[in-house]
Structure 1
Amino acid sequence: MSAVGAGDATPAQPGAERHPGPDDSAWAGQVREQLAEADAGFAARFDEGAEVDRLVAERAAVVDTHVQAAWQRCIPLEAQLALFAVGGYGRGELFPQSDVDLLVLAEPEASTACADALARFFAVLWDAGLPVGHAVRSLEQCTEASREDISVLTSLLEARPLAANELERRELQTAASPRLVWPPQDFFEAKRRELRDRHARYGDTSDNLEPNLKEGPGGLRDVQTLHWMALRIIGTADLEALVAFGQLGADEVTTLERERRALSRLRFGLHLVADKREERLRFDYQKPLAARLGFEDTGDTLAVEQMMQGFYRSAAIVLRIGERLLQRFEEQLEGEAEPEPIDERFDLRRGYLAASSDAWPRDLGDVFDLFATWAAHADAVRGLHSHTARELAEALPRLPGFKQASAELRQRFMQLLRGPQPVQTLTRMARLGVLGRWIPAFARVSGRMQFDLFHVYTVDQHTLAVLKNLASFASGQRDERFAMAHEVWPRLRKPELLLLAGLFHDIAKGRGGDHSELGGDDAREFCETVGLSAPDTAMVEWLVRQHLLMSRTAQKEDITEPEVIHRFAAKVADREHLDHLYLLTCADIAGTSPKLWNAWKDRLMADLYTATRLAMRRGLEHPVALEERIAEIRDTTRAMLSALGHDDAAIDEMFARMPDAGFQRGRPDQLAWQAVALRGIGAGDTRVRARPVTAQAGALEVFVYSPNRDGLFAAIVAKLDRLGLAILQARVLDGPDGTIFDTFEVIPSDPRYTPTADEVERKLAAALDGPLDRIRPARRTQPRHLKHFRIPPQVAFDEGSDGRTTLSFVCTDRPGLLAEVAAVLRNQSLRVHDARIATFGERAEDVFQLTTSDPEGRGLPLDDAHQQALREALLHCFEGESA
């Protein structure tokens, strides 16, 4: 093995061993200029719409010329060396930023003798601006490296001679032959396992916000893997040749090639926009790439959303056809399995569900039968047989939508929803394209992304995630993420109504207007057409129209206020609507982003559900009075404290330090914990307590009792921020005798660092014992992705009847934003009496109750001048300037 580049292909870096020949630097400079000129031409032709396959092939040919010239320049004619292009370059395609992978075939003696010449060759290519990756191996070493690493073999499968004769080409081919390494069966199993592992790294979905065009599910690597398998198993990498072997249909080849070209065009454009080797379609590049590809914003859809929808649809098709071809390769290797009849219509073939008749499907009824059989035998079925999947795909254009279908077919669909595994059935129908044919509105949102950080999935994948959450509620197995969902689900009279609501709740996204209202229209039309009763139709329509009501109420209003609960209960009207809305809301939030649902939101929804149910039980004509609620909470808290061993005198002493508003807004268990924290505290003392909450890792409830001082709220918020804690909710109350009674729900900003409750108590208390003006917000760099989601800031004021001014604002969220806002309020000499913190992806929507801090200690509402000054300061803050 030579000391030069032995092993896997890696970029060749010029170093101390470099031996430049005459005018190598000048030659490399000329080549660099020629390559830059050629690449500028390729970029211009790309922008003019030239075929991407031709561009990557011509770019490879241009690089061939320079690589061969460098070889002739540096390597003696008598040298026993051969040069091959491998990997993607060996395939004869080079994207603008792709590596130029080379293999030098040489026996050890020859590579040692030519070490200096090879070092010069690689160095001059590097100086010419070519990102060369190289390996120097003998035939035996090629065989051994391929045996140890299947990726080496795949690069050799596409080796193309650049400076090699026919004998050397055949010898390299033999060195990587199935007789010596990776016979077809082993190769297939290893590459299939590699493909599945790679998909798992990307969450087994192509519908990521920043997808990887090359490595992600449905990306170009998937297509290449199919080519490699075909070459090893069938003996040809030409997919069109697979038609003659019965492995692919002509329509499948045409479709797969179309989507490959679409993905290649995206990749070529991405390399141009990024101006570096980049395979991930990051937010930084999505808008520029969409513009470069000629997409334009429309009234309903952004250009970037149109481009991304095209990608997601291409990736879905690659995945769909790829799964069929994997099955056919498996059958090629293992032989046709003997059919195991399930009934007179369907068989199992090696665990895959297949139609028995060659004439299948005759109509939509046959298709519905397929999904019904699949659901009934789900434990025995690995998936859909590739031939049946292809027949289904070919039949899709002939299948009617629900409007054109017969009444019998409409009832057959409803039977699927009422049968076993209804959510799995809907998911299978969606992925095979059937659901989009049956409900055309669903096809329009398939692959549709929303350019924000709140929705991390495409609309169709979000819908399927919501349905999956609903299925988990129905499973009977308790999920610790949801406090009450599994208790509520069994009370549903007709669970299929909730499934329909989940299916339609976002189906009108991207049409302009209110998607809830438009989706409600779609849901009503569907339900009426399939023959649902008027009450059932009304339930589904209402759920779709109101599917945001509960989350908005819980996150944007104070659900401890009896008026809020009464108003919400009046809109919901009865227990049945409440049960359905609660389950849909939980499933919807949890299905929007893996990071969005947390223990705080779970408890918030459960609290609103419970409070509304109690209001309904009492009767909406008898709303609970504030005094009654306070007395009820106080009595329950007293009972808890008594159970802990505190006598009435001690409890009265604790309650005397607590504000009445706490008994209005707090939970008895929370109030009891806070009351115990006040035992033994002296006048003027500060006390901080923290405790873990629920099952969410790192989540804490932090309680602060202290004499009130100007800037206290800002200091608390800034210190929590510096401790790496993000505030989900703040309850800021004025206590007796000039004290504050503040409670914060916090979670770690970075899951890699989670401060303990003891650490938070100690560090926050120490900070509050010193000068408050020394506690300043930490300066942070704005995360990369947030700069692409700028939300025009909005600031509003409202005068309340309690003499306080309500400040509400909407802006782009960022780490430390709340601490900076609190600093603005401190600088404006304002006191914070309440705060509600809500974050939706990149969107922050916060509300504060404020008064001025006047010398006499009276809190006064903000006058017009003060409001204007605060507005200007906040807008300055939202732009990222210092508070």
Structure 2
Amino acid sequence: MTGSAPAGSGLAEPGATTAQGAERAASVRAAMAAVDAALAQRFDALAGGSELDIDRLLHARADAVDAELRALWRELLPADAPLALFAVGGYGRGELFPQSDIDLLVLAEPEAQAEHAEALGRFFTLLWDAGLPVGHAVRSAAQCTEAAADITVLTAMLEARALAADSHAGTTLRAAIAPLYLWPAREFFLAKREELRQRHARYGDTADNLEPNLKEGPGGLRDVQTLHWMALRIIGTADLESLVAIGQLGVDELGTLERERRALSRLRFGLHLVARKREERLRFDYQKLLAERLGHVDNADNLAVEQMMQGFYRSAALVLRIGERLLQRYEEQIEGEPVAVPLSGAFEAFELRRDYIAARSPQWPRDAHDIFALFAAWASHDAVRGLHSRTARTLAESLSRVPTYDQAEPALRERFLAILRGPHPVHALERMARLGVLGRWIPAFSKVSGRMQFDLFHVYTVDQHTLAVLRNLARFASGVADERFSIAHEVWPRLRKPELLLLAGLFHDIAKGRGGDHSELGGDDARSFGTIMGLSEADTALVEWLVRQHLLMSVTAQKQDIADPEVIHRFAGKVADRERLDHLYLLTCADIAGTSPKLWNAWKDRLMADLYTATRLALRRGLEHPVAGAERAAETRAAAQAMLAAFGSQDAEIDALFARMPEIGFQRGRPDQIAWQAASLRGVLVGDTCVRARPVSAHAGALEVFVHSPDRDGLFAAIVATLDRLGLAIQQARVLDGPQGTIFDTFEVIPTDPRHPPTAEDVERRLAATLAAPLDRVRPARRAQPRHLKHFRIVPQIGFNTVDKSGNDSAHGERTLLSLVCTDRPGLLADVAMTLRNQGLRVHDARIATFGERAEDMFQITATTATDPDGRDRALDDTQQQALRAALHACLEGDHQ
């Protein structure tokens, strides 16, 4: 409905009213304020218990508005005026949330509209002045028919409820929008189904968003309303209860749908109260406030906000599940019963009905074997549209027949394993999870269904993250190269039993929320599952190890220097064999990429691939033969020399270029990186600056940036600030000292906005210009902190440790390792680098890791003391550490003032 008078209606717009009108508007405002206060008090008094009947509150508010509107209508409109007033939309249903629009329709022929335009104008103006969020339209019957060509307008009028109208007016309005004239049942259904599909797509086709929309999101209140509107148009019933009598909806389905609608309505009512404005999105700003208002309390395993959100996700999932069934039944109501096509062979117990798989026997299922047989048949006919609604309903009613895996007989356990070993096993697991079978079979999985974690690192609920990990594994299994995962498609064929990796993916987070280390607890679960399911000891041990160590590769790659042979040797010792390495690599890639769409990037792909390759070589060499730094450097030098020679460089030229490079670079760098940097130095005189950038693999926008320059104070800070201003986020920095007072800095960067990534040429030009000017002019860009970060503030943790040049702990080391854990934000690294510069410190190495809202960065730094006779850099003393700690706290705390 529109919020102003329609063009040509002659109605007055909101404006000044008479003193009498202002007084009347104030009385309406006061009356509604009292009603809303009383309803809020009732809500709060009952919110934490089962006594809260949200429908009564919604109807009570609608009744209060009804009374005010009817009284004003009688006061301002002549009793004999040929005008009819209707409530439409949600207000027409008699559901009025605290901040909902009040949509009205005045039905009147053009002559009556003109004659009473002034009185209608006063009526609507007074409502606006009273603070009521009124949207209205004034239309004749013909104009209603014309406007209803827009299906959204028609939908609002479908629920028209008379406020000041006789039965003749109601009949006239219904006739004006009848299917005889527009939107017959079939066209209405198809349009509304497409509208629903597009609406779901806007929210990523999932209800498991961190800040879900209670009204419009998948599984939200709009889905329930859409089912209601379809019933009105297709079947002609005014309520879903009528569908039970005609067999379109089961009593249990209706009960579930109504229960979850009320649960969603309670959340929406409370959201309007805490937001104090029209807000349908459950934003971080309101989640904790709403959880508290609804009576949730933190406990050892679950925060109050996590309990509330788990309730929402489960409600949305049930609405989606039942909605899918009812859409099928509406389709059959319109198109007629489909012709059944029996399946053959081992799946003859099933058939296809309009390309939905269905059980043929009315007695299906006799037991859990029949249920597992359904998923096997479905996986073997993976291209079907889905599960037939009647079979889906029967399955829901028969879930109690599915035992837990530890109570099942051996033949049923073997059936489950056969599904894992059969075609499309991940699709089968997804379906079993969505339809409640997996939670019955593995009770621990049901406990994490809908369980969210109140942070920005995990953007999905635990169960949806687990399914996303499995989907990533399925992509690796497809054999099709995916540019995001450079070697995954090569590693997958080496797996001896791929189903073991699927089990590891299924169990890796299954112990979230129990307290304690979820990896260890999940490992216990995996061990129990493998033993009871009859897996061999070797297979069980592999799955258990993967679950316990599923974070090992990620932590090693992102927090340690994997160019250090000692790091590789330690990691290889923990992995121990090639089979574990293959499985762990694939699980790690799938896990990181399944945590957040933004988390996997070119840098992580390269890190994991490099760590995998280096570890594989270490295992091939034998753990009893660790690679020494000198040996690694010699191998890298030889490989880089061969690359340069292949492009025509002579040995003398190569040796001269290598002589200008830091020796440690050959130990820490990759051969292709060393060759690229050496080639970049051609024609660059000693004392000159060289800046080069190149794309990383096929990842859009990801770059490797190389800077060679005479060393100067503030150089690292200037480079970091410039990259930040270019919209590039630094993922890793390597800062090496070269011969003759030069630096060799390498940065792995990705664009903060992938839609507008700077090119390699842009980076080279901007950085070269920065380094050609005085560095003290460079300042970090100032940016506002993103809204959501203020709800996830992490108390800064700053630590110092003395290390040698290789980064190993050393009481008499030359460098200080600064570790920083804090809330991430745009420009954080640039500000930290500037703080280090202002403290007169030099950066020799940096490792940058971000996990949602959490930044975990490490820097190798030194200071030159005034009393140092040879001017060499030293590790920070206690006084310098305390000064730096204070400066960093001032930098980080300044964002929250």
TM-score (norm 1): 0.97
Whether the 8 Å CA contact 1:4–1:119 is kept in 2: the answer is no
Partner of 1:6: 6
Residue in 2 that maps onto 1:705: 708
One-letter amino acid matched to 1:345: A
Q: Taking structure 1 as reference, are residues 3 and 387 closer, same or farther at Cα in structure 2, changes over 3 Å only? A: closer
Question: How far is 1:691 from its partner?
Answer: 1.8
The corresponding residue for 2:841 is: 830
**1:114 positional shift:** 2.5
**How far apart are the structure 1 equivalents of 2:326 and 2:611?**
50
Deviates further, 338-347 or 270-279: 338-347
2:400 corresponds to which residue? Answer: 397
The residue aligned with 1:288 is 289
Q: By how many angstroms is 1:109 displaced?
A: 2.3
State the partner residue of 2:321: 320
Which residue of 860, 868, 875 corresponds with 2:889?
Answer: 875
Correspondence for 2:863: 852
The partner residue of 1:387 within 387, 390, 398 is 390
Is the Cα contact below 8 Å between 2:470 and 2:505 reproduced in 1?
yes
Which letter maps to 1:868?
A: Q
Inter-partner Cα distance in structure 2 for 1:792 and 1:302: 19
Superposition pairs of residues 364-375 of structure 1, within 5 angstroms: 364-375=368-379
Residue in 1 aligned with 2:41? 44
Given candidates 348, 352, 357, the residue that maps to 2:352 is 348
- 3-state DSSP of counterpart to 1:456: coil
Deviations 1:435-464 (A, max 9, x none): 000000000000000111111110000000
In the other structure, the counterpart of 2:97 is 95
Q: Kindly indicate whether the alpha-carbon contact (under 8 Å) linking 2:4 and 2:136 is maintained by their aligned counterparts in 1.
A: no
Is 2:868 the partner of 1:866? no
- 1:761, CA displacement in angstroms? 1.2
Contact 2:4 2:13 in 1 (8 A): no
The 5 A counterparts of 1:456-475 are: 456-475=459-478
3-state SS in 2 of match to 1:778 = coil
Match of 2:446 among 443, 448, 463: 443
Is the 1:83–1:104 Cα contact (8 Å) retained in structure 2?
A: yes
Give secondary structure in 2 for the equivalent of 1:553: helix
Counterpart of 2:697 (choices 689, 694, 697) is 694
Residues 767-805 of structure 1 show CA distances to partners (whole Å, capped at 9, x for unaligned) of: 122221211111111100111111222111111134111
- The answer for the alignment partner of 2:810 in structure 1 is none
Moved more, 800-809 or 98-107: 800-809
1:352-363 matched pairs, under 5 angstroms: 352-363=356-367
**Structure 1's 135 and 357: CA in aligned 2 closer, same or farther, altered over 3 A?**
same
- Counterpart CA distance in 2 for 1:799 and 1:677 is 34
Going from structure 1 to structure 2, the CA distance change for 1:57 and 1:572 (only over 3 Å counts) comes to: same
Name the aligned partner's letter for residue 212 of structure 2: P
Counterparts of 1:493 and 1:340, CA distance in 2: 38
Once the 2 structures are TM-superposed, how far is the Cα of residue 134 of structure 1 from its aligned partner?
Answer: 1.0
In 2, Cα distance between equivalents of 1:237 and 1:867: 73
| Counterpart residue number, 1:593 | 596
- Residue 25 of structure 2 is matched in structure 1 by 28
Moved more, 33-42 or 551-560: 33-42
1:663-707 superposed Cα distances (whole Å, 9 cap, x missing partner): 111112222221122222233322211122222222221111111
CA positional deviation for 1:14 = 4.3
Looking at structure 2, the residues matched to 806 and 231 of structure 1 have their Cα atoms a distance apart, in angstroms, of 69
Segment of structure 1 superposing worse, 623-632 or 650-659: 650-659
* Structure 2, unaligned runs of 5 or more: 47-51, 806-813
Alignment match, 1:216:
217
| Map of 1:185 onto structure 2 | 186
CA-to-partner distance for each residue in 1:16-64, whole Å, 9 max, x for gaps? xx47355111111121111111111111100111311000101011111
Shift of 1:647: 2.0
Matched residue SS, 1:859:
coil
1:124 aligned residue (100, 103, 126): 126
Offset, 1:720? 1.1
Contact 1:8 1:135 in 2 (8 A): no
The equivalences for 1:134-213 within 5 A come to: 134-147=136-149, 149-213=150-214
Structure 1 position 397, deviation (Å)? 2.3
3-state SS of 1:571 partner? helix
Aligned partners of 2:749 and 2:498: how far apart in 1?
A: 36
Report how far residue 72 of structure 1 moved: 2.6
Task: Indicate conservation of the 8 Å contact 2:785/2:895, yes or no.
Answer: no
Alpha-carbon distance in structure 1 between the residues aligned to 2:90 and 2:738:
70
Looking at structure 1, the residues matched to 107 and 66 of structure 2 have their Cα atoms a distance apart, in angstroms, of 17
Q: Distance in 2 between matches of 1:358 and 1:418?
A: 29
**Offset of 1:300 from its aligned partner?**
1.1
| Cα-to-partner distance string for 1:51-94 (whole Å, 9 max, x where unaligned) | 11000101011111222222233333343321111000001110
How far 1:765 moved relative to its partner? 1.3
1:564 to 549, 561, 567: 567
Shift of 1:286: 0.6
CA–CA distance in structure 2, aligned partners of residues 360 and 13 of structure 1: 65
Give the counterpart letter for 2:827 in structure 1: G
Counterpart of 1:48 in 2: which secondary structure?
helix
Separation in structure 2 between the aligned mates of residue 103 and residue 864 of structure 1, nearest angstrom: 75
Matches of 1:661 and 1:107, distance apart in 2: 88
Query: Number of residues paired by the alignment?
Result: 876
Paired residue type of 2:25: A
Secondary structure at the aligned position of 2:364 is classed as coil
Report the equivalent of 2:581: 578
Instruction: Give the TM-score taking structure 2 as reference length.
Output: 0.96
Q: 2: distance between equivalents of 1:7 and 1:844?
A: 55
State the AA in 2 paired with 1:710.
Answer: D
Counterpart-to-counterpart distance in 2, 1:250 and 1:494: 44
Distance 1:481 1:114 in 2: 66
Match of 1:736 in 2: 739
Indicate which of 377, 382, 405 corresponds to 1:378.
Answer: 382
1:840 corresponds to: 851
Q: Which runs of 4+ in 1 moved over 6 A?
A: none
Match of 1:617, as an amino acid?
A: R
User: What are the equivalent positions in structure 2 for 1:476-495 lying under 5 Å apart?
Assistant: 476-495=479-498
Give, in whole Å, the separation in 2 of the partners of 1:732 and 1:19: 69
Match of 2:241 in 1: 240
1:422 aligns with 2:425: yes
Cα deviation, 1:286-333, whole Å, max 9, x if unaligned, reads 111001100011011110000000000000000001111111111111
Query: Quick one: which of 661, 673, 678 aligns to 2:676?
Result: 673
Q: 1:752 offset after TM fit, Å? A: 4.1
- Give the counterpart letter for 2:560 in structure 1: E
Q: Determine helix, strand or coil for the equivalent of 2:857.
A: strand
Tell me what 2:808 maps to: none
What's the CA shift for 1:13?
9.8
Distance 2:411 2:78 in 1: 80
The question of whether the paired residues in 2 share the 8 Å contact of 1:839 and 1:845 is answered with yes
How far did 1:708 drift?
0.9
2:71 is aligned with what amino acid?
A: A
**Corresponding residue for residue 501 of structure 1:** 504
Q: Amino acid of the residue matched to residue 406 of structure 2? A: K
Q: Is the 8 A contact 2:3 2:134 kept in 1?
A: no
What is the CA distance between 1:338 and its match in structure 2?
A: 2.6
The aligned counterpart of 1:83 is: 85
**1:349 to 1:881, Cα distance in 2 relative to 1, 3 A:** closer
Q: Which residue is equivalent to 2:273?
A: 272
Which stretches in structure 1 are left out of the alignment for 5+ residues?
Answer: none
Alignment of 1:716-735 (within 5 A): 716-735=719-738
How has the CA–CA distance of structure 1 residues 674 and 8 changed in structure 2, closer, same or farther, with 3 Å as cutoff?
farther
| SS in structure 2 of the partner of residue 836 of structure 1 | strand
CA deviation after TM superposition for structure 1 residue 882, in Å? 10
* CA deviation profile, 1:97-156 (whole Å, cap 9, x unmatched): 000001111222222232222222211101101011111111111111112x11111101
What's the Cα RMSD here? 1.7
Percent pairwise identity = 72
Task: Choose 328-337 or 85-94, whichever is displaced more.
Answer: 328-337
What amino acid is the match of 1:197? Answer: Q
1:813 aligns with 2:824: yes
